Amino acid sequence: MSGAALRLGDSAANLQVLGAVRLPGFSMRHVLSALVINQPGVLAHISGMLASRAFNIDSLAVGETENPRYSRMTFVLTGDDKVLDQVRKQLEKIVTVVTVVDYSKQEFVERDLMLIKVAAPAGKRSEVKELVEIFRGRIVDVSAEHMMIEISGQERKVEAFIDAVRPYGILELVRTGRIALMRDTCMSSDPPPGT
């Protein structure tokens, strides 16, 4: 399970969770973090549970934490507070889930990582390179006809870069989905003592 990442779809609305205005019945994007026991089948079990209850997952990323006994899953879900509450309750019922934290009401830092292969023949290469510099990306591979670029940052930055290079021709791209940690001095989801 360590290092797995799955992007399950793009959101219908490109909303910022922090500072967004809530309207009655209005769906928002929520960022949840679940600390889970690092063992085979946990990802399949949790994603299967969410799918069976028709919860819409925008992205799901999972990887080992500072303690190899645990992995942290970061979910981005679209829905109202009722949907979020149902998801959290269902997750907390799973034996391998240690804690679940809703980042949406906290100060947090989020990142999305993307590798993108852009058509860049000799005459267009300097233009693409300039865009990469503007977005603070890195060129990680070059061939005669394309460049592979690494971009990380908030989702809106990644989306803006995709839009900027689309006219050159996007050959392939892959994204991690969002990962996040709270800004607070306490840990995002400390396991209970003795676990």
Q: Give the tens place of pLDDT for each residue, 114-142.
A: 999 999 988 899 999 999 999 999 999 99
Residue 86 has phi, psi (to 5 degrees) of -65, -45
Domains, the chain, ranges and CATH? 5-106 (3.30.70.260), 109-180 (3.30.70.1150)
The two three-digit tokens of residue 133, written as one number? 């510099």
Length of the chain: 195
Question: How confident is the model over 73-114, as pLDDT tens digits?
Answer: 998 888 788 878 888 888 888 889 999 988 877 888 889 999
Question: How confident is the model over 31-60, as pLDDT tens digits?
Answer: 889 999 999 989 888 888 888 887 878 888
Query: What is the pTM for the complete model shown?
Result: 0.69
Residue type (1 letter), 118: V
CA-closest candidate to residue 23, choices 33, 13, 32: 13
